[in-house]
Amino acid sequence: MMKCVQCRNVFRVIGDALNLKLQVPIMLEMAAEAIVDQFAVKAVHFRLLSRDQRSLDHIASFGLSPSFLEKGPVDAERSIAEALEGRVVAVADCATDPRVQYPRQCVEEGLRGILTVPLETRGQVIGVMRLFTAEPREFGGDEIEFFKVVAAFCTSAIVDCMFHTILRHVTESVRSTLELPAVLDAIARVVSDDLRAKGCTIHLVDEKTGALEARAASGLGEAFVARLVEAFSREVSERVIAGETVALHDARRDGWVTAPEMMAAEGVSSILIVPLVSRQRVSGVLSLFTHKPYLFSDEEKQLMAAIAEQCALAIDNAKMFAALKKRYESLVDEFQLWFEHSQTYPQRNPA
Query: Listing from the earlier edge strand, what are the strands of the sheet with 246-248?
Result: 212-218, 199-205, 281-289, 271-278, 246-248
Q: Both 156 and 23 in a single domain? A: yes
Instruction: Please state, in angstroms and rounded to a whole number, the distance separating the CA atoms of residues 247 and 70.
Output: 39
Cβ atoms of residues 197 and 290 within 8 Å: yes
Q: Both 33 and 90 in a single domain? A: yes
Residue 310 sits in a domain whose CATH number is: 3.30.450.40
Lowest mean pLDDT among 12-21, 87-96, 158-167, 183-192: 12-21
Would residue 345 count as lying in a domain?
A: no
Would residue 214 count as lying in a domain?
A: yes
Q: Both 132 and 241 in a single domain? A: no
| Model confidence, pTM | 0.71
- Reported as a single tens digit per residue, the pLDDT across 94-103 is 888 888 888 8
Q: Which residue has the higher pLDDT, 222 or 39?
A: 222
Instruction: Please state, in angstroms and rounded to a whole number, the distance separating the CA atoms of residues 148 and 87.
Output: 10
Q: 3-state DSSP helix/strand/coil percent for the chain, to nearest 5?
A: 50, 20, 30
Q: Over 60: is that where the pLDDT of 254 sits? A: yes
Spatial neighbors of 24 by CB under 8 A, at least 6 apart, are 59, 60, 157, 158, 161, 162, 165
Would residue 346 count as lying in a domain?
A: no
Number of domains in the chain: 2
Q: Both 125 and 218 in a single domain? A: no
- Reported as a single tens digit per residue, the pLDDT across 116-135 is 999 988 778 889 999 999 99
> Using CA atoms in the order 184, 188, 190, 191, what is the torsion angle rounded to 10 degrees?
130
Would residue 273 count as lying in a domain?
A: yes
Give phi and psi for 288, each to the nearest 5.
-115, 135
Cβ atoms of residues 165 and 24 within 8 Å: yes
Q: Both 19 and 85 in a single domain? A: yes
Q: Both 183 and 330 in a single domain? A: yes
Q: Both 100 and 124 in a single domain? A: yes
Strand partners, 203: 214, 285
Would residue 196 count as lying in a domain?
A: yes
Predicted pLDDT of residue 1: 47
Across the chain, mean pLDDT equals 84
Q: Which of 108, 133, 162 is the last residue of a domain?
A: 162
Q: Over 80: is that where the pLDDT of 66 sits? A: yes
Would residue 171 count as lying in a domain?
A: no
Q: Both 184 and 326 in a single domain? A: yes
Boundaries of domain holding 70: 4-162
Q: Both 111 and 206 in a single domain? A: no
Mean pLDDT (whole number) for 277-284? 84
